[in-house]
């Protein structure tokens, strides 16, 4: 999306947009000649909606490229996922619900075991149990002190945690310390460019490891050091308000997606239990002055990752059953799509086109069902996911004419 | 294609890709309401393959733009044909099988006749016969000597030949000497930018013409000078190995296509007789450690250029008959497409969409036949040919996920 064009043309109106994202919605047939998860699902409500909607297949990043959740959502929100990169450390920080600031530098931590000769003998500290690791994380969070920067250490699960460095003049142009296999010494963090920020950040990261080893000494038989990887900084996205003039709200059950929405400047609404709870939150917040709602449904992706075609079908059907509650609110624009495909057949994110449905009063319907192949022949064609925000804004009559 | 992204994501795997290019495959109906060459052809094997393949229409360069063979193939190989330009001189050098080096400067030569007043009286030297021209080419190749650079002169056909300048610091930012019509003096070669390389190269090119006239003097009644045009240098493409991590092989009968494949760093395999011979070469080389095969079929284009609809249909049917031999090898990914359209109706390359079929285990089939209109409604939509390599790499599971 050309964000400058959006800035130039966007206008405030009363219309309301709902972007319903079924994570990993796109799929594949299991057998040749078969149907995808979405095509298989009994979706009378989505099919009826399709019959009065624009359809298309969206491409998240590039031909053949399977996106992670970060780039997938950035593209949905209209940001160029190749320009704005969300490092693993940042996603981890977002995933644990850490409020990442614009100058913060984040990295993933693995607790590990270093033997007497200084080599890594276990990259997961004997698969340290979650409760023991949580105790060590608290120690690191409270006892590690570095010059000029604050550090925060937050636990993820088992041997995994996140460290955030907060201060001025940091950079994520840094290498990992993880040697990737046992029997090797951990690597020092090195700057990957010549900037003074990277040099300084590398020194701070190395000092953190040294301090962490001092704090951990004698506290646990296996977890006597930490490995750092995936350094990343807040991508400093221009906000939804600034670009689109939208007061945007996010309803998501998982911290990572909440975090991605926060990066775009969305407000987080407290979600209820399950998908129905999320939609109940939407209903309760409908008159609160928001003009954009991002609703994130996670279980479709999880079912795809598990290779569970049937469960993915059932979750899609569950969403279909809840659709009338969203339609009952009377959104001016309702889009239903995914951030990428997660075909059960592949058990992972994939590069395939993602079904996209846009309902408004101004559509050119082409089909009577919602599915990958109906979308391929739709009036929006096969198009970059980054264009979705433009479609939503246009159909919401929130864009001025361009030029006289 | 974003080559940096490919460099970042590509991984070595055991999967093998075949890119079967029917030159000038795209076509047009001769009569309104009729079918194209591909749609007319009886292609039971391609149709069966289409029923388990992704389909799309590819655009080689830009809307409405008919590509030459150079840009057409560069796009197929994932290179931006607007960024990487292959000068006519370079294509001619490749076309005669000359091994062009990265610093070489090439130009096309026309033998011509200059009258007593220094004006060009015949731009083709009285359509000098091939054998006579070949003799003069040998003279130029052995007798022209320039300071600091080597020169090679190779014959094409009739009055046409190629000159290659080899040395350091050359540039192709040069104008032609051909005045385009008779009765005018030949033009001096001029630099088109202010670089010292262009200035030096212009002087060398002008010295070459002077030397050539000296060598030719008294050797032939009509061919007493040469006109130079289409200066071009090796486009210095990053190689397939570097960008995609692919060990790539090319099977092509014509020198120009071998040359284009060499530009991308492909190894040339010795082709057998005709299309069947090319596919036999593929079979023989299947276990030789290559993970990418470019197979080029020329006669479709030649038939289109001749305006011979029926012959083009028959050649497509011949390829269809040979298809089981390729499928029998079990490629993980097989794509069938063209480098551009050459509709018999136009007797030339054209700007039309090129049918594209991609077969793998991970497709969303949309049709039961292979043809332009089936492709237009396919799951890949209408897309830039530069994206083809991304599609192939993705379906071959040779790309890591982008972002966390």
Q: Taking residues B245-264, what's their average pLDDT?
A: 93
The two three-digit tokens of residue B148, written as one number: 């600091």
CB pairs under 8 A between A and B: 110
Per-residue pLDDT for B255 more than 90? no
A52 band by pLDDT with thresholds 50, 70 and 90 = very high
Q: Taking residues A325-352, what's their average pLDDT?
A: 98
Greater pLDDT, B49 or B262: B49
Nearest to A377 among B377, B389, B395 (CB): B377
Taking the alpha carbons at both ends of chain A, their separation in whole angstroms is 22
Q: Taking residues B130-158, what's their average pLDDT?
A: 95
Task: For A348, name the nearest residue in chain B, comparing CA atoms only.
Answer: B401
Which pLDDT tens digit goes with each residue over B320-366?
Answer: 999 999 999 999 999 999 999 999 999 999 999 999 999 999 999 99
Judging contacts by C-beta atoms under 8 Å, the chain A residues touching residue B17 are: none
Segment among A268-272, B258-262, B321-325 with least mean pLDDT: A268-272
pLDDT of residue A157: 87
Three-state SS for B375?
helix
Segment among A90-94, A280-284, A381-385 with least mean pLDDT: A90-94
Using alpha carbons, select from B284, B303, B235 the residue that is nearest to residue B81: B235
- CA quadruple B59, B63, B64, B69: dihedral sign: negative
Q: Return the residue in A34, A39, A62 with the most chain B beta carbons within 10 A, the one to mutate for interface testing.
A: A62
Which pLDDT tens digit goes with each residue over B164-223?
Answer: 999 999 999 999 999 999 999 999 999 999 999 999 999 999 999 999 999 999 999 999
Residue A179 CB contacts under 8 Å (≥ 6 apart), including other chains: A120, A185, A186, A187
pLDDT of residue B240: 97
Domain ranges of chain B: 3-85+238-395, 90-233
Q: Using the beta-carbon criterion (under 8 Å), do A62 and B403 form an inter-chain contact?
A: no
Q: How far is B58 from chain A (nearest CA, A)?
A: 12
Task: For B52, name the nearest residue in chain A, comparing CA atoms only.
Answer: A32
Average pLDDT, whole number, for chain B? 96
Judging contacts by C-beta atoms under 8 Å, the chain B residues touching residue A91 are: 404
Using alpha carbons, select from A144, A157, A147, A160 the residue that is nearest to residue A107: A160
Q: Taking residues B26-54, what's their average pLDDT?
A: 97
Nearest to B380 among A61, A346, A382 (CB): A382
Q: Using the beta-carbon criterion (under 8 Å), do B366 and A381 form an inter-chain contact?
A: no
CA distance B247 to B264: 11
Burial class (CB in 10 A: 0-12, 13-18, 19+), A237: buried
Question: Beta strands A150-157 and A160-166: pairing type?
Answer: antiparallel
φ, ψ (nearest 5 deg) of residue B227 = -105, 140
Per-residue pLDDT for B1 more than 80? no
pLDDT of residue A102: 87
Which pLDDT tens digit goes with each residue over B117-136?
Answer: 999 999 999 999 999 999 99
pLDDT of residue B235: 87
Question: Beta strands A53-59 and A105-114: pairing type?
Answer: unpaired
Q: Taking residues B54-69, what's their average pLDDT?
A: 96
B88 band by pLDDT with thresholds 50, 70 and 90 = confident
Judging contacts by C-beta atoms under 8 Å, the chain B residues touching residue A192 are: none
φ, ψ (nearest 5 deg) of residue A107 = -145, 155
CA distance B191 to B304: 38
Classify residue A163 as left (phi > 0), alpha (psi -120 to 50) or beta. Answer: beta
Q: Using the beta-carbon criterion (under 8 Å), do B379 and A381 form an inter-chain contact?
A: no
Percentage of chain A modeled with pLDDT above 90: 90
Task: For B374, name the nearest residue in chain A, comparing CA atoms only.
Answer: A377
Average pLDDT, whole number, for chain A? 95
Numbers of helices and strands, H then E, in chain A: 14, 13
CA distance B47 to B45: 5
Q: Using the beta-carbon criterion (under 8 Å), do A32 and B52 form an inter-chain contact?
A: yes
Residue A108 CB contacts under 8 Å (≥ 6 apart), including other chains: A88, A89, A92, A160, A161, A162, A228, A229, A230
Three-state SS for A66?
coil
Which CATH superfamily, name and number, covers A3-85+237-395?
Answer: Alkaline Phosphatase, subunit A (3.40.720.10)
pLDDT of residue A97: 86
Chain A interface, Cβ < 8 Å to B: 28-29, 32-33, 36, 57, 61-72, 81-82, 85-88, 91-92, 230, 343, 345-346, 348-353, 372-373, 376-377, 381-383
B272 band by pLDDT with thresholds 50, 70 and 90 = confident
Percentage of chain B modeled with pLDDT above 70: 100
Judging contacts by C-beta atoms under 8 Å, the chain A residues touching residue B365 are: 32-33
Using alpha carbons, select from B106, B402, B397 the residue that is nearest to residue B234: B106
Q: Using the beta-carbon criterion (under 8 Å), do A62 and B382 form an inter-chain contact?
A: no
Question: Rounded to 10 degrees, what is the CA torsion of A329, A331, A336, A338?
Answer: -100
Nearest to A68 among B56, B379, B404 (CB): B404
Q: Using the beta-carbon criterion (under 8 Å), do B404 and A62 form an inter-chain contact?
A: no
- CA quadruple B117, B121, B124, B130: dihedral sign: negative
Q: Using the beta-carbon criterion (under 8 Å), do A63 and B362 form an inter-chain contact?
A: no
Per-residue pLDDT for B271 more than 90? no
Classify residue B49 as left (phi > 0), alpha (psi -120 to 50) or beta. Answer: alpha
Which pLDDT tens digit goes with each residue over A187-233?
Answer: 999 999 999 999 999 999 999 999 999 999 999 999 999 999 999 99
pLDDT of residue B336: 98
Judging contacts by C-beta atoms under 8 Å, the chain A residues touching residue B2 are: 62, 82
| Interface ipTM | 0.89
Three-state SS for B241?
helix
pLDDT of residue B239: 96
Class of domain B3-85+238-395 (CATH, top level) = alpha beta
The two three-digit tokens of residue A56, written as one number: 């298309």
| Helical packing angle, B130-143 and B196-216, nearest 10° | 120
Judging contacts by C-beta atoms under 8 Å, the chain B residues touching residue A36 are: 364
A257 CB neighbour count, 10 Å cutoff: 24
Per-residue pLDDT for A1 more than 80? no
Q: Using the beta-carbon criterion (under 8 Å), do B364 and A353 form an inter-chain contact?
A: yes
Beta bridge partners of A160: A110, A157
Three-state SS for A211?
helix
Q: Using the beta-carbon criterion (under 8 Å), do B401 and A352 form an inter-chain contact?
A: no
Q: How far is B202 from chain A (nearest CA, A)?
A: 40
Per-residue pLDDT for B404 more than 90? no
Q: Contacts from A240-244 at CB under 8 Å and sequence distance 24+? A: A240/A77, A240/A264, A240/A265, A240/A266, A240/A292, A241/A265, A242/A7, A243/A3, A243/A6, A243/A7, A243/A10, A243/A78, A244/A6, A244/A10, A244/A78, A244/A292, A244/A389, A244/A393, A244/A398
Residue A4 CB contacts under 8 Å (≥ 6 apart), including other chains: none
Classify residue A152 as left (phi > 0), alpha (psi -120 to 50) or beta. Answer: beta
| Helical packing angle, B69-76 and B255-263, nearest 10° | 40
């Amino acid at each position: 999306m050309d964000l400058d064009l959006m800035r130039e043309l966007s206008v405030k109106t009363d219309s309301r947009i709902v972007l319903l994202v079924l994570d990993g919605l796109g799929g594949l047939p299991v057998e040749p000649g078969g149907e995808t998860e979405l095509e298989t699902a009994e979706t009378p409500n989505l099919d009826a909606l399709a019959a009065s909607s624009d359809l298309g297949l969206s491409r998240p990043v590039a031909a053949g490229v399977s996106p992670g959740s970060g780039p997938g959502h950035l593209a949905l929100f209209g940001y160029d996922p190749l320009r704005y990169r969300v490092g693993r450390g940042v996603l981890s920080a977002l995933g644990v619900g850490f409020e990442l600031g614009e100058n913060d530098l984040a990295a993933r931590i693995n607790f590990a075991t270093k033997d007497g000769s200084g080599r890594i003998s276990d990259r997961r500290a004997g698969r340290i149990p979650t409760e023991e690791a949580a105790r060590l994380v608290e120690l690191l969070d409270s006892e590690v002190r570095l010059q000029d920067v604050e550090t925060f250490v937050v636990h993820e699960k088992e041997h995994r945690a996140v460290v955030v460095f907060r201060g001025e003049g940091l950079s994520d142009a840094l290498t990992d310390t993880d040697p990737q296999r046992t029997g090797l010494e951990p690597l020092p963090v090195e700057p990957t460019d010549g900037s003074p920020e990277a040099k300084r950040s590398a020194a701070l990261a190395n000092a953190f490891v040294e301090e962490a080893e001092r704090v951990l000494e004698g506290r646990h038989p296996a977890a006597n050091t930490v490995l750092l990887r995936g350094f990343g900084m807040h991508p400093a996205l221009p906000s939804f308000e600034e670009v689109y003039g939208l007061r945007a709200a996010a309803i998501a059950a998982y911290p990572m997606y909440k975090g991605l929405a926060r990066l775009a400047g969305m407000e987080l609404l407290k979600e209820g239990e399950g998908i129905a709870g999320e939609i109940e939150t939407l209903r309760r917040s409908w008159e609160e002055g928001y003009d954009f709602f991002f609703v994130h449904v996670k279980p479709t992706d999880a079912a795809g990752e598990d290779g569970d075609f049937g469960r993915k079908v059932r979750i899609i059907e569950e969403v279909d059953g809840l659709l009338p509650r969203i339609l009952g609110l009377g959104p001016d624009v309702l889009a239903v799509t995914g951030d990428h495909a997660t075909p059960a057949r592949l058990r992972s994110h994939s590069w395939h086109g993602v079904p996209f449905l846009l309902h408004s009063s101004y559509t050119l319907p082409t089909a009577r069902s919602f599915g990958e192949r109906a979308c391929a022949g739709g009036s929006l064609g096969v198009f970059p996911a980054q264009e979705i925000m433009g479609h939503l804004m246009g159909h919401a009559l929130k864009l001025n004419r361009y030029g006289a």
